[in-house]
């Protein structure tokens, strides 16, 4: 049984846009930072996710691979935040789940579409 790679790509896009929306909401509306300006937090949190965005949307395997690497940063952040901060554990676990969706979606997409 062979699964169509478009399903892996759909999983990756769901993880990508879900992670993007979560980070934007988390840092602006849900729990804004009291120590740093919100704009600085957004630049640091969202910029790595935006780097492979164009290639990911164009379905380029190299950009998809880079998106998988970048998703590991968010996995580590979500895991550490879930362990340390009990108040924001739900958001952190959602970040972990979405980063894993992005990672596995892009990894399997590159694996089955690659040359």
pLDDT digits (tens, 9 = 90+) for 90-102: 999 999 999 999 9
Distance CA 67, CA 55 (A): 9
Structural domain tally of the chain? 1
Give the H/E segment covering residue 32: none
- Residue of higher predicted confidence among 101 and 5: 101
Domain hosting residue 68, numbered range: 5-113
> Is the whole model's pTM more than 0.85, yes or no?
yes
Encoding tokens for residue 22?
């979560």
Give the H/E segment covering residue 3: none
pLDDT digits (tens, 9 = 90+) for 35-74: 999 999 999 999 999 999 999 999 999 999 999 999 999 9
């Amino acid at each position: 049984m062979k699964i169509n790679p478009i399903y892996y790509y759909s999983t990756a896009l769901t993880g990508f846009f879900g992670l993007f929306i979560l980070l934007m909401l988390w840092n602006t509306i849900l729990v804004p930072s009291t120590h740093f300006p919100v704009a600085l937090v957004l630049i640091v949190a969202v910029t790595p996710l935006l780097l492979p965005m164009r290639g990911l949307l164009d379905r380029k395997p190299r950009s998809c691979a880079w998106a998988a690497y970048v998703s590991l940063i968010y996995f580590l952040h979500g895991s550490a935040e879930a362990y340390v901060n009990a108040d924001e554990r739900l958001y952190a676990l959602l970040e972990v789940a979405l980063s894993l969706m992005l990672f596995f979606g892009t990894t399997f997409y590159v694996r089955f579409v690659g040359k």
